[in-house]
Amino acid sequence: MKTVLFSVTLASLVYVLGATPAGIAVTAPPADARTVIQRMAARNPSLQSYQARVHVDIRMLSFPFLAPKLDGTSYYKRPDLYVVEFDRMPSYARSFGRLFNDVGNPLAWEHDQNITLDGTTVLGGREMLVLRLTKKIHSDILDHTLAYVDALSYTLQQMEWYYTSGGKITMSEQYRLEGKYWVLSQQHATIHMPYARAVADAVYGTYQINVPIGSPGARAQ
């Protein structure tokens, strides 16, 4: 059985169906991108770790005979470990791992991205803070990325990647209450590239909260 590891993000608290979860305080508007990142990372302070099964359906619109179904387990350990280990990964589907990798922990974005606060917008009827990410080392492939952060809960709601080829990939996220924590429930991606079009949907199962999690490749301790 072949295992593929890739990093993705924890976006843990959110309001659902337009309601604000209890315990979320309204804070002053952020002055810069660094403040937004810090508030995103500060969500769920008592959540130290978790693991949950995840199922992903991929449908290739350009090649309709390809529709891989992936199963794996997501692992999170504070402060910034969040990986999904798939039970198996067909060779033609490996590139989809990059989508989840790029939605990685906000603290990790700062390692290789220049991040600026690009104003606000409305998405799904909610006010969003817009972060603009550009590679610190110039990329001939990726032009820039936009991250849409809920202005009340400081959860990542959507990311958009804009490519120099004219292609675009969008990933949106939904959340649910698990115990006393709001955690990732579903993800939906649309891929529109010059050479391929596809959609991908991920659904997360029951979470095991605050369980021992090791490093990638040696999770259990």
List strand residue ranges (DSSP E) for the chain, in order: 4-7, 49-60, 69-77, 81-86, 113-123, 126-135, 142-150, 156-163, 168-178, 181-193, 196-209
Mean pLDDT on 33-44: 92
pLDDT at 109 over 60: yes
Banded model confidence at residue 83, pLDDT cuts 50, 70, 90: confident
Question: How far, in Å, CA of 168 to CA of 150, rounded?
Answer: 22
Architecture of the domain made up of 4-16+28-205: Clam (2.50)
Which of 27-36, 147-156, 163-172, 185-194 has the least mean pLDDT? 27-36
Residue bearing the bigger pLDDT, 80 or 122: 122
What is the average pLDDT score of the chain? 82
- What mean pLDDT is predicted for residues 147-170? 96
**63: Cα separation from own chain's centroid:** 26
* Number of residues assigned to the chain: 221
Question: Which position has the token pair 């470990």?
Answer: 81
Residue 160, phi then psi, degrees to nearest 5: -130, 130
The tens digit of pLDDT for each residue in 142-158 reads 999 999 999 999 999 99
pLDDT of residue 184: 92
Domain ranges in the chain are: 4-16+28-205
Please state the rounded mean pLDDT for residues 30-49. Answer: 91
